[in-house]
Structure 1
Amino acid sequence: MSVDHLLQTIPPLVVYLLTGLVIGLESLGIPLPGEIVLVSAALLSSRPEIDVHPLWVGVAATTGAIIGDSIGYAIGRRYGMPLFGWLGRRFPKHFGPGHVAVAERLFGRWGMGAVFFGRFIALLRIFAGPLAGALKMPYPKFLVANVLGGICWAGGTTAGVYYLGIVAETWLKRFSWVGLVVAVLGGLGVALWTRKRTRRMVREAEGTEPAAP
């Protein structure tokens, strides 16, 4: 059985539910690859032979992001900052003191903006809801930033990947694959730079690396 045939056997509803569930759990504070799942689902929707619609992928991702963040907010507001101490002892790679310090610094500087833009940053995506609740951000403000961020991130990512998939398929049929490789390498370069910068901020917050000027 070919890969294309195998993909065609996946019910669209399973794709939508899995996308919403994984993104919702990640938004709640569980470190899961929500962005990878969203990109994969959006790529599936760009294949005409697969009955997955990009609109419903975006709706599922947006719904999961908003609900997950709201549940994370409620948990953070209930248990406060000691929650992150408990998580840090059990998951130091994701909730260590440096991670919490960086996220708290960004929240203190940007407020609602940290919730909105946190949707686009891996570090803040799992912190935004619980940390906003722990810091007692008013829920109406959090909800506005949460909804807008979820719509822009989920909808924008779905649309961008969907159209990129269509263009890539056209390039592969009519032109050289070199352009696609360059585009993919460029995207990977930006992702790696962002990850490296985030890790450096965490090390600086932990005091294991001198602060950048």
Structure 2
Amino acid sequence: MESGLAGWVQTIGYIGIFAVVFAETGLLVGFALPGDSLLITVGILGAAGKLQLFPAITALFIGSFLGNNLGYWLGRWAGPGLQRRVRADHLERTQLFMRRFGALSLLVGPFIPIVRALVPFVCGTLRMPYGRFLPLTLLGSLIWTVGLTLFSYWVGSKIPNLEKYVYLILLVGISAGVVPAAIRFFRRRSARSVEM
């Protein structure tokens, strides 16, 4: 059994994989869960023969799709009350994202932490017609779970023993997202100080 994240994924199994993605996308707790990291790890473990790829992808997809639907209905039924439980900056960021991308936010949003957890909820709160939400969230869940996992599987199949370096890979990936965000933050902050 692998140690660290890879070992944890093997330990929780397919039901655990399903539960993590379902909770991340449907219960407004996705801010602390390992979404993309989980998909990447599953793909790499699949390539190493330490996890069966088809059941894992199926669990990820169903978890994401059902979680998105739960988030939508939570937003529809209890949106204003639940909004108070979400950090204002996270909600504002998601609303700006949705204004920019419109309905396509259901296809792009799954790839962005925090936004991934809030887009279905905001769609429900804004009363997006369910007939429009359903096919878009189905496709968004499919692209995110299957696309990212299969890409990781492909990379893992080209590089032997990659599962031993999952933490390093994830650290590089996180840095690639955090560094540009930090640069944008400091540029905006500098621009505001110059205006004052």
- In the superposition, the TM-score normalised over structure 1's length comes to 0.72
Task: Give, in angstroms, the shift of residue 145 of structure 1.
Answer: 1.4
Task: Give, in angstroms, the shift of residue 133 of structure 1.
Answer: 0.6
Partner of 1:92 in structure 2?
none
Give the Cα separation in 2 of the matches to 1:208 and 1:26: 34
Give the Cα separation in 2 of the matches to 1:66 and 1:25: 11
Give the Cα separation in 1 of the matches to 2:77 and 2:184: 28
Partner of 2:65 in structure 1?
66
Give the Cα separation in 2 of the matches to 1:191 and 1:157: 15
Partner of 1:57 in structure 2?
56
User: Which stretches of structure 1, 4 residues or longer, exceed 4 Å deviation after superposition?
Assistant: 187-190, 196-205
Alignment of 1:37-56 (within 5 A): 37-48=38-49, 50=50, 52-56=51-55
Partner of 1:26 in structure 2?
24
User: How has the CA–CA distance of structure 1 residues 165 and 65 changed in structure 2, closer, same or farther, with 3 Å as cutoff?
Assistant: same
Give the structure with the larger helix fraction. 2
Task: Give, in angstroms, the shift of residue 170 of structure 1.
Answer: 7.6
Pick from 13, 22, 38 the counterpart of residue 15 of structure 1: 13
User: How has the CA–CA distance of structure 1 residues 133 and 151 changed in structure 2, closer, same or farther, with 3 Å as cutoff?
Assistant: same
For 2:44, give the aligned amino acid.
L
Give the Cα separation in 1 of the matches to 2:180 and 2:104: 19
Give the Cα separation in 1 of the matches to 2:102 and 2:96: 10
Superposed CA RMSD: 3.4
Task: Give, in angstroms, the shift of residue 190 of structure 1.
Answer: 5.5
Task: Give, in angstroms, the shift of residue 164 of structure 1.
Answer: 1.1
Q: 1:45–1:53: 8 Å Cα contact kept in structure 2?
A: yes
Q: How many residues align?
A: 183
Q: 1:27–1:126: 8 Å Cα contact kept in structure 2?
A: yes
Task: Give, in angstroms, the shift of residue 115 of structure 1.
Answer: 1.4
User: How has the CA–CA distance of structure 1 residues 142 and 165 changed in structure 2, closer, same or farther, with 3 Å as cutoff?
Assistant: same
Pick from 150, 171, 178 the counterpart of residue 195 of structure 1: 178
Give the Cα separation in 2 of the matches to 1:140 and 1:101: 25
Deviations 1:71-122 (A, max 9, x none): 011001111234222x13xxxxxxx222211111121232211111000111
Pick from 159, 167, 170 the counterpart of residue 168 of structure 1: 159
User: How has the CA–CA distance of structure 1 residues 68 and 198 changed in structure 2, closer, same or farther, with 3 Å as cutoff?
Assistant: farther
User: How has the CA–CA distance of structure 1 residues 203 and 117 changed in structure 2, closer, same or farther, with 3 Å as cutoff?
Assistant: farther
User: How has the CA–CA distance of structure 1 residues 47 and 26 changed in structure 2, closer, same or farther, with 3 Å as cutoff?
Assistant: same
Give the Cα separation in 2 of the matches to 1:155 and 1:60: 10
The percent identity for this pair of structures is 21
Q: 1:27–1:69: 8 Å Cα contact kept in structure 2?
A: yes
Structure 1 unmatched ranges of 5 or more: 89-95, 172-179
- In the superposition, the TM-score normalised over structure 2's length comes to 0.78
- Structure number with greater CO (CA < 8 Å, separation at least 6) is 2
Give the Cα separation in 2 of the matches to 1:199 and 1:71: 32
Q: 2:35–2:113: 8 Å Cα contact kept in structure 1?
A: no
Q: 1:23–1:35: 8 Å Cα contact kept in structure 2?
A: no
Task: Give, in angstroms, the shift of residue 60 of structure 1.
Answer: 0.9
Give the Cα separation in 1 of the matches to 2:59 and 2:149: 11
Task: Give, in angstroms, the shift of residue 37 of structure 1.
Answer: 2.0
Partner of 1:176 in structure 2?
none
Give the Cα separation in 1 of the matches to 2:172 and 2:102: 29
Give the Cα separation in 2 of the matches to 1:75 and 1:203: 35
